[in-house]
Amino acid sequence: MGLALLILILKTMALRTGNEHYAQAARFWAKIFAINFAMGVVTGIPMEFQFGTNWARFSKAAGGVIGQTLAMEGVFSFFLESSFLGVFLYGEKRLSPKAHWFAAFLVCAGSWLSGYFIIATDAWMQHPTGYTLAANGEIMLSSFWGLLLNPWIFWQYLHNMIGAVVTGSFVMAAVGAFYLLTKRNEDFGRTFVRLGVIAGTLATIMMVFPTGDGQGRNIAAQQPPTLAAMEGLFESVDGAPLAILGQPDVEHHRLDNPFTIPRALSFLTYQRWQARVRGLNAFPPDEWPDNIPLLYYSYHIMVGLGTILIGVMVLCCWSLWRGSLYRQAPLLWLLMLMLPFPYIATTAGWVTAELGRQPWLIYGIMRTPAGVSPHVSAGNALFTLIGFMGIYTILAILFLFLVSREIEEGPAQTVEAVAPV
Partner 1 sequence: MATIWFGLVAVMIAFYVVLDGFDLGAGIVHLFITRNDAERRAVLASIGPVWDGNEVWLLAGGGTLYFAFPALYASSFSGFYLPLMIVLWLLILRGIAIEFRNHIRSLVWQPLWDVVFAGASGLLAIFFGAALGNVVRGVPLDRSGEFFLPLWTDFTAGKESGILDWYTMLIAVAAFLALTVHGALWVSLKTEDGLQQRAHQLAMRVWWALAASIAVITWCSFVVQPQLQTSFAERPWGYVFPLIALAGLIGMRIFGGELQKFLSSCVFILGMLTSAAFGLYPILLPSNGDPAFSLTVANAAAAPYGLRIGLFWFIPGMLLTTCYFVYTYRSFAGKVRTGVVTEGHG
Q: Which of 9, 15, 21, 57 binds partner 1 (CB under 8 A)?
A: 57
The neighbouring-strand residues paired with 67 are none
Closest CA to 4 of 32, 44, 39: 32
Residue 119 beta carbon to partner 1: minimum distance, rounded to whole angstroms: 16
Distance, in Å, from the CA atom of 27 to the CA atom of 7, rounded to the nearest integer, reads 8
Q: Which of 17, 20, 86, 245 binds partner 1 (CB under 8 A)?
A: 86
| Amino acid (1-letter code) at residue 202 | L
Which DSSP symbol is given to 55?
Answer: -
Would you count residue 124 as binding partner 1 (CB under 8 A)? no
Would you count residue 49 as binding partner 1 (CB under 8 A)? yes
Would you count residue 105 as binding partner 1 (CB under 8 A)? no
Would you count residue 97 as binding partner 1 (CB under 8 A)? no
Distance, in Å, from the CA atom of 332 to the CA atom of 178, rounded to the nearest integer, reads 8
Q: Candidates 15-23, 202-210, 222-230, 397-405 — which segment interacts with partner 1 by CB under 8 A?
A: 397-405
Q: Are 161 and 5 in contact (CB under 8 A)?
A: no
Cβ proximity to partner 1, 91 vs 151, nearer residue: 91
Would you count residue 94 as binding partner 1 (CB under 8 A)? yes
Q: Candidates 41-49, 162-170, 197-205, 259-267 — which segment interacts with partner 1 by CB under 8 A?
A: 41-49
Would you count residue 65 as binding partner 1 (CB under 8 A)? yes
Q: Which of 17, 19, 91, 238 binds partner 1 (CB under 8 A)?
A: 91
Would you count residue 59 as binding partner 1 (CB under 8 A)? yes
Cβ proximity to partner 1, 46 vs 151, nearer residue: 46
Would you count residue 61 as binding partner 1 (CB under 8 A)? yes
List Cα–Cα distances, 181 to 166, 175, 176, 330, in angstroms. 22, 10, 9, 10
Question: How many Cα atoms occupy the beta-carbon half-sphere of 200 within 13 Å?
Answer: 32
Compute and round to an integer the Cα radius of gyration of the chain: 23
Would you count residue 140 as binding partner 1 (CB under 8 A)? yes
Q: Which of 22, 51, 234, 296 binds partner 1 (CB under 8 A)?
A: 51
Residue 99 beta carbon to partner 1: minimum distance, rounded to whole angstroms: 10
Q: Candidates 12-20, 88-96, 185-193, 289-297 — which segment interacts with partner 1 by CB under 8 A?
A: 88-96
| Helical ranges in 291-410 per DSSP H | 292-322, 329-337, 340-357, 378-409
Residue 178 beta carbon to partner 1: minimum distance, rounded to whole angstroms: 20
Q: Which of 35, 109, 250, 339 binds partner 1 (CB under 8 A)?
A: 35
Per CB under 8 A, contacts with partner 1 among 353-392 are 373-377, 380, 383-384, 387-388, 391
Helix (H, G, I), strand (E, B) or coil at 284: coil
Distance, in Å, from the CA atom of 111 to the CA atom of 5, rounded to the nearest integer, reads 9
Would you count residue 30 as binding partner 1 (CB under 8 A)? yes
Cβ proximity to partner 1, 294 vs 402, nearer residue: 402
Q: Candidates 71-79, 163-171, 256-264, 284-292 — which segment interacts with partner 1 by CB under 8 A?
A: 71-79
Would you count residue 38 as binding partner 1 (CB under 8 A)? yes
Distance, in Å, from the CA atom of 336 to the CA atom of 327, rounded to the nearest integer, reads 14
Per CB under 8 A, contacts with partner 1 among 293-352 are none
Would you count residue 48 as binding partner 1 (CB under 8 A)? yes
Q: Are 242 and 294 in contact (CB under 8 A)?
A: no
Closest CA to 342 of 172, 119, 168, 108: 168
Residue 323 beta carbon to partner 1: minimum distance, rounded to whole angstroms: 35
| Helical ranges in 186-284 per DSSP H | 186-206, 213-222, 224-231, 264-270
Would you count residue 109 as binding partner 1 (CB under 8 A)? no
Would you count residue 206 as binding partner 1 (CB under 8 A)? no
Q: Are 191 and 21 in contact (CB under 8 A)?
A: yes
State whether the Cα torsion 49-55-57-61 is positive or negative: negative
Residue 376 beta carbon to partner 1: minimum distance, rounded to whole angstroms: 5
**Residues present in the chain in total:** 421
Residue 158 beta carbon to partner 1: minimum distance, rounded to whole angstroms: 23
Provide the mask over 141-180, with x wherever binding to partner 1 is found by CB under 8 A and - wherever it is not: xx-x------------------------------------
Would you count residue 72 as binding partner 1 (CB under 8 A)? yes
| Amino acid (1-letter code) at residue 190 | R
Distance, in Å, from the CA atom of 393 to the CA atom of 403, rounded to the nearest integer, reads 15
Closest CA to 31 of 94, 88, 114: 88
